[in-house]
Amino acid sequence: MRELIAGRHSKAALQMAKDLHKRVTTADSEALLVDAYRARIEDLTRLRLTIEAKSLLAIMRERFPAAVSGWADLEQELCVLDGRLDGIVGPLMNPDLTAEERERIESFIRQHVNDLPALAAVSSLPPEHSLRLAASALASAFQAVTAGNLDDELLALPQVSRRSPLAPWKALVRAVACYYRHEDAECRKWLLAIPEDAVPARLIPAMTAMLGTKTEVRFTAAETALIEAAGDHGAALRSSVATIEAAFAARKRQPILDGVRAIAAASIGLEPSLRERLRQHIAVRCVAQHIERRAVDSALGGPPRLNAYFYRLLARSIELMGYAESSAEAVLVWEEFRRAAIRDKWFEAGGLEDGVLSLHMAEMVARLPADVVEEMEDSETFLSNSGKGRRNSGLPSAGQLFDRACRADASAESFDAWLCWARKQQKGRAADEVAERWREARRGEIQPLLHLMESAEKRNALKKSLNYLEEAERLDGLNPAVRRGKARLLLSSAVRHLRQGQTHLIPAEIEQLLTVSEVRPGDVAALAAALHWCCAAIDKNHSAREDWETKLVRSIGTVAAHLVASALARAAQWRSQLSVPQLDARHTPRTELVAGAVRACLLGDWVGLSVPLLFGWTGELIEALNQPAMSVDASGLLALGEAALNDSARELAYSVSSAGMSLGTANARFLYLRARAFPAWMEIRREGCLAAARELARRERDTELTGRILDRLSGRLRLSAQAEALSAEVVDAIVAEELKLRKYPTVPRDDQPRYAAQLTSAAASRCDCPKCRAKCGEAIDDWDDADEEDSWDDDQDQFDDPALQEMPTVLAEILEALPPADRERVLEAIEAGEDPIQVLDRIDQAVRKMAPGSASRKFRWKPLKAADSKPRKQAIPAPDQPPTQGRLF
């Protein structure tokens, strides 16, 4: 029974004590019964069953009055529970109260009184009594701080002295205030100031837990209710979020998954929509870290909701990875987003948003390398691993997406992007069909008409082309593009008649040509004079020929006249029969040489006439360009450079780029020109110039040039490398060094430009492979994909093939031996990133087509793989094949 009493099993102990006392009735059994009754009354008091406790106490008072006389504390406690404090504090007004008795009463107040308003209202003390004043002030302050009023004045509590039995309450009020102010250290300090036996100490365990301290204490129902009502739920979640962010930054798989589990547990009480959004973001961040989806779903306690918000987030994340493969996968996810967005009523199918999204997807697909598109059919994607058994429905084609975009949003921007893509496809008349769609959808725009005009002209459908031109002139006759198109069309027609020897038809075309508003004064007159000169030369009318030659020279100068006449004679395929106006380059001032060449190239560029620049005085022209005092603007130099590239005069183009960069006004375009002028083996400098040109063009917001550079890079570099920008220091280093390197590289050498190291370092910083990340000082753990390294080694093995090692040494020699047209095709293919095996196969075919010579004997390329030895369907044209009409444009 003593053990039962000690173990707070008072009910059973009392029943047993009663039975025992009935049977034996001894002094010991009575003492045991009294103790059992006391324990029972204490337990009932603790359970706030005051009526039952008082009943038992009354029974005890009747049956064992001697024993009950010492139970004053129990009686007082019951008074406290009833709110009857007058009897407890009343003796404090007795002037004869002993110090011990006062101490006992005050201790009782400190240890048992929890009803401050009742204490403030006791009638046995006068209103001005310090205990009543302190209780009243504390009751108000406690009410205020728990309701949100944290004023310092309220917390001063001057009514409560340090010696007051209510002083622990003052510490409690301040602790609560500090808790709400997030002053956790101060809060802990005030909690420590509360004596353990004081009533306010009952809040210490709960408040300690609310401050975030882990404890093993089992909380009562009231404590649990307090923690839930006033506790800081966000603390654990915020802590978990901070932990997982650190794990994401460190790219550690296991800590990330642990963090996901912690967040899933800590966010249980969170608002459902906010919790779901958090889960979706975490899932997407894990996808970006290449953590398998099953593990993430398991850690999250289930997959996140796959709605439009999730798919948009996921698509953006995968897209921002920047690799070609990820871009392809992002397109699939964007497609899934589209379906979900239409289902969730974010937008309607065929609406503006649908058009904008489809255009974005189309442009992504258009930038994808062909091999990536093929790989997507077999590879596992996020969607195919979604756990819903969903199969990858295949990558939509760019054409389908452009079509959908333009149906949903028939804007000029959408059609322009579609037409630009269709032009590059070179599939029949796909671009013409797009232009026709554009023309039908937006009648007032001239861009589709200009395309159709040019396309018809290329097919020798001159009548149709003129019809389009007339329509374009009706819409906007003053538009420079329309004027230029008219001049090009008329010149093309005239050139065709010259080629056919129908010189009698030329004057009418010249008459029309003279009506075109020219950009530079004298251009149209010079063209007319050149055409007249050509007609007179073909007709062998010497006097007329001399007259027109004089007029031509007078209008644009000797150098330009020589070049324009040469260009016209070549286009009309009369070059060998016609003697063009003579030029004594050696005795012509250098500045005049440059100015004349620029003038001719600008004129040729305007009317689509290819100006020949590989002639006997190219050396003099290069020498003139290298002279410091030059009065040619950037646009003229660019026209000269482009013409030089078109005519395979790479050294001249290189010199033009040097002269242009020294102007310092259009470095992006001159770097791009230089990149294309390099010989094929000058890999590092070409990469450097392209990267710097792209970065400068991006900074200058030159989207047209950026697009051209990206188009050129798309076959060779991954999208991540395209998306990342070079730092300003690297760009400046490239420009400065290229500016100094004025001599065209003619002999393959091992030395690299000084900026090569910076360029490699910049590329490594963008690369996500373990080796490059380690080079950048990033910690790499075992989790990083070991297979990736193996695949790299495999790639390296391919390059170690003896046949490929042989290639660079012989390539320059072989290229030099090829006809210019074939050489250009091969160089372009290499620059565009074509498979080296295919390129060499092509070289082999080109060499075989040549007349037996040194090159064909020196080099025979043996394809490495049988599959690659299939004959190519598209044969390389014969070296002396005359240019077709369309090549003018």
Least separation, in Å, of the C-beta of 708 and other proteins? 13
Whether 833 and 715 have beta carbons less than 8 Å apart is answered as yes
What is the Cα–Cα distance from 823 to 650, expressed in whole angstroms?
Answer: 12
Among residues 340, 342, 356, 634, which is the contact residue for other proteins, using CB under 8 A? 356
Residue 199 engages other proteins in binding (rule: CB under 8 A): yes
Stretch that binds other proteins, among 406-414, 510-518, 522-530, 742-750 (CB under 8 A): 406-414
Residues 157-196 that bind other proteins (CB under 8 A): 176, 179-180, 182
Whether 176 and 90 have beta carbons less than 8 Å apart is answered as no
Question: Cβ closer to other proteins: 282 or 452?
Answer: 282
Question: Cβ closer to other proteins: 313 or 815?
Answer: 313
Among residues 29, 492, 667, 706, which is the contact residue for other proteins, using CB under 8 A? 706
Least separation, in Å, of the C-beta of 201 and other proteins? 10
C-alpha distances in Å from residue 881, one per residue of 573, 647, 825, 828, 884 = 11, 15, 14, 19, 9
Tokens of 264: 């899933």
Least separation, in Å, of the C-beta of 883 and other proteins? 35
Least separation, in Å, of the C-beta of 377 and other proteins? 26
Least separation, in Å, of the C-beta of 81 and other proteins? 9
- Phi-psi region for residue 509, left (φ > 0), alpha (ψ -120 to 50) or beta? alpha
What does the angle CA 438 – CA 439 – CA 442 come to, to the nearest 5 degrees?
80
What is the Cα–Cα distance from 605 to 350, expressed in whole angstroms?
Answer: 41
Whether 212 and 741 have beta carbons less than 8 Å apart is answered as no
How many binding residues for other proteins (CB under 8 A)?
Answer: 64
What is the Cα–Cα distance from 220 to 312, expressed in whole angstroms?
Answer: 46
Residue 335 engages other proteins in binding (rule: CB under 8 A): no
Q: What are phi and psi of 601, to 5 degrees?
A: -70, -35
Question: Cβ closer to other proteins: 697 or 826?
Answer: 697
Question: Cβ closer to other proteins: 289 or 626?
Answer: 289
Q: Which of 368, 375, 407 is nearest to 394 (CA)?
A: 375
Whether 187 and 178 have beta carbons less than 8 Å apart is answered as yes
Residues 96-155 that bind other proteins (CB under 8 A): 114, 142-143, 146-148
Residues 18-77 that bind other proteins (CB under 8 A): 46, 48
Question: Cβ closer to other proteins: 336 or 523?
Answer: 336
Question: Cβ closer to other proteins: 33 or 719?
Answer: 719
Tokens of 221: 């129902």
Residue 311 engages other proteins in binding (rule: CB under 8 A): no
What is the number of other CB atoms lying within 10 angstroms of the CB of residue 816? 10
Residues 221-250 as x/- pattern, contact with other proteins by CB under 8 A? -xx-xx--xxxxxxx-xx--xx-xx-----
Residue 564 makes CB contacts below 8 A (sequence gap 6+) with 526, 527, 530, 552, 556, 600, 603, 604, 609, 611
Residue 269 makes CB contacts below 8 A (sequence gap 6+) with 233
Least separation, in Å, of the C-beta of 401 and other proteins? 15
Question: Cβ closer to other proteins: 149 or 550?
Answer: 149
Whether 564 and 552 have beta carbons less than 8 Å apart is answered as yes
Whether 847 and 859 have beta carbons less than 8 Å apart is answered as yes
What is the Cα–Cα distance from 577 to 755, expressed in whole angstroms?
Answer: 50
Residue 256 makes CB contacts below 8 A (sequence gap 6+) with 244, 247, 248, 286, 289, 291
Is residue 6 exposed (0-12), middle (13-18) or buried (19+ Cβ within 10 Å)? Answer: exposed
Q: Which of 48, 176, 199, 226 is nearest to 115 (CA)?
A: 199
Q: Kindly calculate the radius of gyration of the chain based on its CA atoms and give it in whole angstroms.
A: 46
Give Cα 152 distance to the centre of its chain. 49
Least separation, in Å, of the C-beta of 87 and other proteins? 20
Question: Cβ closer to other proteins: 231 or 485?
Answer: 231
72-82 vs 99-112: helix axis angle to the nearest 10?
50
Residues 253-292 as x/- pattern, contact with other proteins by CB under 8 A? ----------x------x---x--xx--xx-xx--x----
Among residues 353, 620, 700, 828, which is the contact residue for other proteins, using CB under 8 A? 353
Question: Cβ closer to other proteins: 278 or 560?
Answer: 278
Among residues 55, 94, 107, 220, which is the contact residue for other proteins, using CB under 8 A? 220
Residues 583-642 that bind other proteins (CB under 8 A): none
Stretch that binds other proteins, among 314-322, 648-656, 660-668, 815-823 (CB under 8 A): 314-322
Residues 665-704 as x/- pattern, contact with other proteins by CB under 8 A? ------------------------------------x-x-
Among residues 56, 160, 206, 640, which is the contact residue for other proteins, using CB under 8 A? 206
Least separation, in Å, of the C-beta of 797 and other proteins? 36
Tokens of 509: 């075309």
Question: Cβ closer to other proteins: 177 or 843?
Answer: 177
Q: Which chain residues interact with other proteins by CB under 8 A?
A: 46, 48, 114, 142-143, 146-148, 176, 179-180, 182, 199-200, 202-203, 206, 210, 220, 222-223, 225-226, 229-235, 237-238, 241-242, 244-245, 263, 270, 274, 277-278, 281-282, 284-285, 288, 312-314, 316-317, 320, 347, 352-353, 356-357, 360, 409, 411, 413, 701, 703, 706
